[in-house]
Amino acid sequence: MTTIDPETRIPDPIELDEAEEARLRAAAGLGPIPREGGEYAGFESVGIPDRPPQTDRERDVYTLNEGEMLINLGPQHPSTHGVMRLVVKVRGEVIVDIDPVLGYLHRGIEKLCENATYTTVLTYVDPMDYLSSMHNEHAPAIAFEKLYGIKAPPRAEYIRALVVELNRVFSHGLMMGFLALDMGGLTPILYSFINRDEVVDMLSAISGQRMLFNFFRLGGVNWDTNDEFLSRLGTWRSHVLDNVLMNERMITENEIFTTRTKGMGVLTGDEAISLGVTGPNLRASGVPFDIRKAHPYSIYNELEFDIITQESGDSYARYLQRIAEIKQSIHLIDQIIDKMPHGPVQAQVPGIIRPKPGRAYGAVESPRGLYSVYAISDGGPNPYRFRMRDPSFISLQALPKIMPGRLLADTMAVMASFDPVMGGVDK
């Protein structure tokens, strides 16, 4: 198996030409050719961007030097993360800079939530990070319960943790499939979707919806577990580890996969913290930060689990981190099923909830990182300000930092290893 030294720098043909030219001119006794400054790539020449630069960074990105070119990985592209536009400045095949253009899925959820009651807000937040809808609902539920001064009954907290960990399992499983899909491997996505359909049928038995589960309520959850949910849970649990291991065997030792992910997109721990990257991406860079341990919420105090980290911080480490977290989540699900108490699943709350004026912050560990909600109440039925901090949005800032120097084809692979979901990025 060939190994690629991650420190190897890909020779840049233009630099080789320039070096050769400089050598020849020096040998001939001439000075270097005077080059003018870079030329700004305005609309007349390339069409990107379509207006003069407004900021320094924009001027940096859209000013082309010798041999550079702007490529638009436009809002519609085969990568399955949704609608995001990356304007990539390349020199040959080597990336020089990236400018992500977002907002193609901005739906104004924060503004809509200011005109909705607290219970309706819990339905509006579902389509944000649509692969982890339970986490999307968990954070506002925590924040609103802090505002209202109520706690959910213990059985509700256990059910919440159960569905949240189930959501994490299938979300990480989908990441494995998408990572392979973005590199051209069409099989693992089918296995991921088999697993996801199984889990989602199970969650539809308990919440009524396959995807945007409207399951959390202020003070608990909507429905208790029922026979169909529990029977599907048992069936799924009996073969999930085999399925995950089968998917893993197909990808992890695959030579193409390891060549394309080892050493790619290396993010050190300090860089990651400075960029605001959280979740499995941060833990793959070596920082043991997990909100479930740092600021425990729900019943995570009673469950035993360790924080898993990887050392290398490359795409391969982010992939291995998610596999390890799938196994950790299955272990957590086992503990939850063992320890679940009996009792009511929803606290007694009135129809229209009017918390006292105040501010609350609720943070959960979503499959993409730290997902938090900052809610301000003014005493009325609607939240005064409802702010969501989405982890994929902030993790995208890592892309312009780690991609320069790499090839264009690696962009998609590295981005898939960060597992962004555009619904959360654009809110």
Partner 1 sequence: MAVDPPAVRPDGPIIIPDQAENDALLAPFNMEDHPQGGFHGLLEVIPTKADYILDLIRANSLWPLLSGLSCCAIEMMSTATSVNDIDRFGMFPFRASPRQADVLIVAGTLTTKMAGPLVRLWEQMPEPKWCVAMGTCTTSGGRFKRSYSVVQGVDRVMPVDVYVPGCPPRPEGLIYGMMKLHELVKQRRGEWSTFVDRGPQRTRWEGDVR
Partner 2 sequence: MEHVRRPRPTADALGRRCPLSAPAAAGSLVRLVTERLGSDLEHLWTDEDTVEFQVEAARAVDVLTTLRDDPDFDFFMLADEAAVDYGVGSHLEVVYHLFSWKHPAWLRVRARVDRADPRIGTVTHLWEGAMFHEREAYDMMGIVFEGNRDLRRIYMSPDYRSFPLRKDFILPDDAADSPAAGVNPLERPETWDLARFRDAPAVAVPAIGERGGPPPALESGETEADTSRPR
Site residues, partner 1 (CB under 8 A):
43, 47, 50, 74-78, 80, 82-83, 103-109, 111-112, 115, 123-124, 127, 130-131, 189-190, 193-194, 196-197, 200, 210-212, 422-423, 426
Q: Which is nearer to partner 2, 235 or 397 (CB)?
A: 397
Binds 342: which of partner 2, partner 1, none (CB < 5-8 Å by kind): none
C-beta of 310: minimal distance to partner 2 in Å? 19
If one asks whether residue 426 binds partner 2 (CB under 8 A), the answer comes out as: yes
Q: Which is nearer to partner 2, 222 or 259 (CB)?
A: 222
Show contacts with partner 2 in window 53-92 (CB under 8 A): 54-58
**Spatial CA neighbour of 393 closest among 281, 306, 311:** 281
The one among 23, 151, 210, 239 contacting partner 2 by CB under 8 A: 151
Show contacts with partner 2 in window 204-243 (CB under 8 A): 219
| CA distances in angstroms from 154 to 65, 220, 329, listed in the order given | 62, 9, 20
Q: Distance between CA atoms of 362 and 372, rounded to whole angstroms?
A: 5
Other residues' Cβ atoms within 10 Å of the Cβ of residue 311: 10
Other residues' Cβ atoms within 10 Å of the Cβ of residue 405: 12
Q: Distance between CA atoms of 381 and 383, rounded to whole angstroms?
A: 7
Binds 40: which of partner 1, partner 2, none (CB < 5-8 Å by kind): none
Do the Cβ atoms of 43 and 67 come closer than 8 Å? Answer: no
Binds 75: which of partner 2, partner 1, none (CB < 5-8 Å by kind): partner 1
Q: Distance between CA atoms of 41 and 68, rounded to whole angstroms?
A: 10
Q: Which is nearer to partner 1, 23 or 239 (CB)?
A: 239
If one asks whether residue 403 binds partner 2 (CB under 8 A), the answer comes out as: no
Do the Cβ atoms of 5 and 402 come closer than 8 Å? Answer: no
Q: Which is nearer to partner 2, 38 or 276 (CB)?
A: 276
If one asks whether residue 141 binds partner 2 (CB under 8 A), the answer comes out as: no
C-beta of 301: minimal distance to partner 1 in Å? 33
**DSSP letter for each residue of 359-424:** EEEEEEEETTEEEEEEEEE-SSSSEEEEEEE-HHHHHGGGHHHH-TTSBTTHHHHHHHHH---HHH
C-beta of 300: minimal distance to partner 2 in Å? 10
Q: Distance between CA atoms of 109 and 137, rounded to whole angstroms?
A: 13
Q: Which is nearer to partner 1, 175 or 317 (CB)?
A: 175
| CA distances in angstroms from 93 to 63, 226, 326, listed in the order given | 18, 55, 35
Percent helix, strand, coil in the chain, to 5, is 45, 15, 40
Number of residues that bind partner 2 (CB under 8 A): 58
C-beta of 392: minimal distance to partner 1 in Å? 13
Q: Which is nearer to partner 2, 164 or 218 (CB)?
A: 218
Q: Cα dihedral sign for 130, 136, 137, 140?
A: negative
If one asks whether residue 349 binds partner 2 (CB under 8 A), the answer comes out as: yes
Binds 337: which of partner 1, partner 2, none (CB < 5-8 Å by kind): none
Other residues' Cβ atoms within 10 Å of the Cβ of residue 297: 19
The one among 385, 404, 405, 409 contacting partner 2 by CB under 8 A: 385
Do the Cβ atoms of 126 and 139 come closer than 8 Å? Answer: no
**What are the φ/ψ torsions at residue 300 (nearest 5 degrees)?**
-70, -15
Binds 194: which of partner 2, partner 1, none (CB < 5-8 Å by kind): partner 1
If one asks whether residue 149 binds partner 2 (CB under 8 A), the answer comes out as: yes
Longest CA pairwise span in the chain (Å): 90
Q: Distance between CA atoms of 93 and 56, rounded to whole angstroms?
A: 25
C-beta of 82: minimal distance to partner 1 in Å? 6
**What are the φ/ψ torsions at residue 312 (nearest 5 degrees)?**
-80, -25
C-beta of 374: minimal distance to partner 1 in Å? 21
If one asks whether residue 347 binds partner 2 (CB under 8 A), the answer comes out as: yes
Q: Any idea which residue has 């996969």 for tokens?
A: 257
Do the Cβ atoms of 196 and 97 come closer than 8 Å? Answer: no
Binds 78: which of partner 2, partner 1, none (CB < 5-8 Å by kind): partner 1
The one among 176, 233, 396, 402 contacting partner 2 by CB under 8 A: 396
Q: Which is nearer to partner 1, 132 or 285 (CB)?
A: 132
Point out which residues bind partner 2 (CB under 8 A).
49, 51, 54-58, 102-103, 106, 108, 110-112, 115, 146, 148-154, 219, 273-277, 289, 294-297, 299, 301-302, 344, 347-349, 359, 361, 363, 370, 372, 374, 376, 385, 387, 389, 393-394, 396-397, 401, 426-427
